[in-house]
Structure 1
Amino acid sequence: MRHARPIFLVIVLSVVAVGAFGLKIWHDRFQIHRLTLATASASGEYYAFGRALARVISNHHPDIEITVRETQGSLHNLELIEQGSAQLALVQSNSPSRPSTRAVAYLFPETAHVVVSAELGIQRFSDLRTKRIALPPAGSGSYRLFWSIAEHYKMDPETIEFVVKPSDETYAAFRAREVDAFFHVMALGNPRLAELLREQNARLLPIQQVAALQLKLPYLESTQIPMGTYDGASPIPPKDVAAVAVRSVLISSDDVNAGVVYRIVESLYQFRSELVAIYPRAATIVLPESGENLGLPIHPGAQAFYEQDKPHFLVEYAESLAFLLSVFVLIISSLWQFRLWLLGRQKNRADMYNLQLVELIDRIQNSNKSQELIELRQELFEILQKVMVDLDKDRISLESFQSFALPWETAISSLRHKESLLSKIGFSAPN
């Protein structure tokens, strides 16, 4: 009795620790993760992609609920992340980083388009200095990109006549000749732009000196708007147009659950075909060789995916596993005590079955009736079935089963011998 109390205390503490761990696992497993994804205008590419991503994630991970939010663009999205009003956001790669933002994934490239009225003889980017130009909202990455490029050509807000308009108003203003040009960053093949270029006497202005621009703006990618992008019959543009592009990047707050981020990144690639079916431009999403080149610190959940670790479980339950380790000694101690008790119980249960076999053997030896032997055979196999179930459920040990097997074989042999004897003297015995 003197040792019973410490053992009992160890067992109680172990049960409490395991229960707490189980509760943590259950909470993490069934918790609904509600995230807000900041995009841009509801008529733009970011919003359309955000809705597609949210739908695919919901289809495969019901515990991740993503609400897509319309915003003013990249800079506004960064502010929302900092404020905690959004946990995910889409931004352009030229957007400034913030302390709490983390990169999650590179998405599709977006090309800078400069559309000008063909009647005005605008040939170079610097010719925009004397024209009226419409720019995207000031909170967008596109707005910031325009002024970064314009600075290279010695242009600033004081030397350009510009207005800030959302995309819908920009197209209307260009059609009404209220502006001479506009600047948009978008994926190639935008259907609204194709319609405008076919309707209006307009052309795409090249952005040249890309190598020089990259010296100050290393995030820029040199690209082209290929001939026929917006119309193949009467080619628009009639020849390749030099341009620059930036990558759209999915970012998150640094406190988003690592396991959730891992599954979001995994879904971008694992369920690519579903995403492309909803948003075709998702086909151009690039899987980086590592997360080192995303332009800002990478989220640990995304890093785990890019490095092809398999710690989805470890990433998600790292804290819980650390807690489990802290109670390991207590659990081992209690399990040892439980093993001793279980071995004793298993032996007692096996002994019970062996006693039943001894009784059956005795009844077999004393039986002279065919029907009684049939019943004894049935009892014998019922005992075997019970023993097999108990072995499967660890109610008896393998050693105990082996000690049971010999008397059972003896019993079945005795039964067959008795059946043979009865058959020889004219009784009908089962085969």
Structure 2
Amino acid sequence: MNKRFILGIAAAVGILAQGATAQEMSFFRIGTGGTAGTYYPIGGLIANAISNPPGSRACEDGGSCGVPGLVATAVASNGSVGNINAINGGQLESGFTQSDVAYWAQTGTGLWEGQPAVEKLRLIANLYPESIHLVASAESGIASVADLKGKRVSLDEPGSGTLVDARIILEAYGLSEGDVKPEFLKPDQAADRMRDGAMDAFFFVGGYPAGAIAELASQHDIKLVPIEGEAADKLREKYTFFAADSFPAGTYNGQDGDVATISVGAQMVTSADQPEELIYNITKAIYNDNTQKLFAAGHAKGKLITLDNATEGAGIPWHPGAEKFYKEAGKLE
């Protein structure tokens, strides 16, 4: 090698080193849910929106409007409870959870009774309402929650927020797991069983339209069972994280009219250990104008991920970075 070639290599290495220092790459994992639900595609939208790896064009040049140097990924998971445990254990930087599950975890009550509270759990944003789906095969004859007695019912898998809410709903209508033939399957697995005639009904908590249910409805006659009446009213009084909701007519194939139900909030949470500046920049990236357009075009629930909804129903403390952004935006005092 001649001296000029060696000096050229040294200069190139120096330039690369300077670039790496100027913009270090960091990774940010977002725990979502099963691939058939709503969390996973929404997680992908958010991951793409906040990512801006080294070498990307800046937002003003028509490139990403995300956080410089950040590479975010949506990770499929078991849902709310699993995501909170993974955040607490350091396996995820953030994740999605139902507002009820977040409250129980952070306070050590309800679902977390007898377990150490996840005291460092912090809120980044309230995203959209998650509707309680109770899907029944049309041939099962199930028309109300009370009709589940003696039927084959999937309550979702252990560790999911859906399982927790399914048990609460059964109790509100005077039933328990012992009154049904319970199974504990993901919604896509339960839908497969229903298609084969081996499942009468299943619960799912998530934004509509849910992929697994939409696919099932296109191939099999189903009925969305209403969660309404005096039992539902008392349920909302007792558990204030539930809200009145409904599925508009035509949400799923064969659904002629609106169907009443209840909902919880889908929230993006993290740990208090995450840097304030990072969470501030992530929150800012989620709510810039370009990202909002991408959300609205990318998913039915994306239209609801707005700055106006972001601070609704906060049952746990804000992460300081998110709180700083919302105060600057005039959404928090």
Global fold match (TM > 0.5): yes
Counterpart for residue 285 of structure 2: 267
Name the larger-Rg structure. Answer: 1
- Relative to total residues, which structure has the larger strand share, 1 or 2? 2
Distance 1:35 1:161, change over 3 A: same
Distance 1:28 1:82, change over 3 A: farther
Alignment of 1:174-185 (within 5 A): 174-185=194-205
Counterpart for residue 11 of structure 2: none
What's the CA shift for 1:49? Answer: 1.4
CA distance in 1, matches of 2:142, 2:40: 32
Q: Secondary structure at the match of 2:261?
A: strand
Counterpart for residue 96 of structure 2: 90
Counterpart for residue 157 of structure 2: 137
1:168 aligned onto 2:161: no
- Runs (5+) with no aligned partner, structure 1: 1-25, 311-431
CA distance in 2, matches of 1:48, 1:69: 10
1:229 aligned onto 2:247: no
What's the CA shift for 1:207? Answer: 0.3
Alignment of 1:253-264 (within 5 A): 253-264=271-282
What's the CA shift for 1:78? Answer: 0.8
Counterpart for residue 10 of structure 2: none
Alignment of 1:228-247 (within 5 A): 228-231=250-253, 236-247=254-265
What's the CA shift for 1:76? Answer: 0.7
1:101 aligned onto 2:121: yes
Counterpart for residue 215 of structure 1: 237
What's the CA shift for 1:294? Answer: 1.1
CA distance in 1, matches of 2:154, 2:310: 38
CA distance in 1, matches of 2:154, 2:98: 19
CA distance in 1, matches of 2:160, 2:312: 25
- Which residue, 34, 46, 51 being the options, matches 2:39? 46
Supply the AA of the counterpart residue of 2:257: K
Q: Secondary structure at the match of 2:303?
A: helix
What's the CA shift for 1:289? Answer: 7.6
What's the CA shift for 1:265? Answer: 1.3
1:199 aligned onto 2:208: no
Distance 1:228 1:300, change over 3 A: same
Q: Is the 8 A contact 2:99 2:267 kept in 1?
A: yes
Q: Is the 8 A contact 1:289 1:306 kept in 2?
A: no
CA distance in 2, matches of 1:279, 1:116: 25
1:32 aligned onto 2:25: yes
Alignment RMSD: 2.3
Q: Is the 8 A contact 1:41 1:71 kept in 2?
A: yes
Q: Secondary structure at the match of 2:189?
A: helix
CA distance in 1, matches of 2:22, 2:234: 51
The structure with higher relative contact order (CA 8 Å, sep 6+) is 2
CA distance in 2, matches of 1:205, 1:290: 29
What's the CA shift for 1:229? Answer: 1.9
Q: Secondary structure at the match of 2:267?
A: strand
Q: How many residues end up aligned between the 2 structures?
A: 281
**1:107-144: CA deviations, max 9, x gaps?**
12121111112223222201112110112211111111
- Runs (5+) with no aligned partner, structure 2: 1-18, 52-63, 107-117
Alignment of 1:297-376 (within 5 A): 297-308=317-328
What's the CA shift for 1:152? Answer: 1.0
Q: Is the 8 A contact 2:249 2:256 kept in 1?
A: yes
Q: Is the 8 A contact 1:203 1:237 kept in 2?
A: yes
Distance 1:43 1:194, change over 3 A: closer
Q: Is the 8 A contact 1:226 1:241 kept in 2?
A: yes
**1:134-165: CA deviations, max 9, x gaps?**
12211111111111111212222222211111
